[in-house]
Amino acid sequence: MTTVARFEIKYLQYMDEKGRFISNDVPPAFARDLDSLKQLYRDMNLIRVMDQKAYALQRTGKMGTYPAATGQEAIGVGFGSAMTKEDVLVPYYRGQASMVQHGIRIEEVLLYWGGYEIGCDYQNAKQDFPIAVPIATQSLHACGVAKAIQMRGEKRCVFTEIGEGGTSQGDFYEAINVAGIWNLGVVFIINNNQWAISVPSKIQTNCETYAQKAIGAGIECIQVDGNDIVAVKAASEKAAEKARNGGGPTVIECISLRLCDHTTADDATRYRPEGELDDGWTKEPIIRLRKYLESKGTWGQEDEETMLKELAEQVQDAVDNYLNTPADPSEAMFDYLYAELPERTLAQRELAILRGSELTASKPRGAK
């Protein structure tokens, strides 16, 4: 018997939970630029402030179900900051960090969760896809986009994100398989936040890592510390550059911990083991980077207070724009679903109008 192939999974971490660079590798250029790190710190805090505000909107009946990204901000901000304007984002439901990072406005994210029927016709990132709530379907959509880019001979990259639980879906396996066969320029980000709703990671797969699922598709893969934004951004930049230049796909598994409920409809205290949150809050990405900036004498309490005040105002402006957007009339559910309305739905549309669309059409979303 002979060995026909061997595989290994590499792990990347630059900064530990105490904010110290521990890797023997030379840090990437952006990590040696304190201004760049401060911007990443600000961007992660923006998402946390946004999530907190979104929870308040849902709890007061001004928005639907919402999935926060608390404790996972380094993942979305990290790979989102590795994207160029020409790249395409195919997000999943917990993708607000990468979406905002790629130019999608906060109010546009809120409008989606508020049931805005026009959908995700973004002002800036026109070719980015809508949020995908069905599990893993976005993986195949990303491959379709990447194939189109490949056929056009364009140097662009497609990023898509998925929770570790979603990698058990057939759509994910089909996507990485076709990405490998066709050498597509896709970067698959696995957000391993340890929980697929209430199912712990340890019983979701018999694999030692989620990254190694890529091996079966012949795709390069790596596991990174998802609480280390330097590692996430560095791995994403490398994968994106490879993808843009015809080098094919990459799977990046980011290890983190969900420090919040799965969504506003969940109660994680029912299944989360005692002490997990306490430990998780000592390793989360924002405090980690703040410790490093403080150790370099470039960040202090005054800086923190000024930043949080500015972010609160920025988010509130977006919330005001969201609340002041008139609610859709009832017939909008038909008008923005079909390019051409099928004849069988015409009577339904008329009935929707008759049953009171005029009661909501002129009211802003925050109105009683």
Tell me which residues are annotated as active site: 258, 262, 271
Task: Look at strands 195-196 and 199-200 and give their pairing.
Answer: antiparallel
Bridge partners (DSSP) listed for residue 187: 159, 250
Give the whole-angstrom CA distance, residue 90 versus residue 86. 13
CB-CB neighbours of 297 under 10 Å: 8
* Of 349, 266, 288, 265, residue with least CA distance to 78: 288
Distance between CA 70 and CA 63 in Å, rounded?
Answer: 18
**What 3-state DSSP class applies to 367?**
coil
Burial class (CB within 10 angstroms; exposed 0-12, middle 13-18, buried 19+) of 327:
buried
Q: Distance (Å, rounded) from C-alpha 90 to C-alpha 208?
A: 27
Q: What are phi and psi of 124, to 5 degrees?
A: -105, -60
The alpha carbon dihedral of 61, 63, 68, 74 has a sign of negative
Report the 10 Å Cβ neighbour count for 39: 14
The Cα–Cα gap between 220 and 249 comes to 7
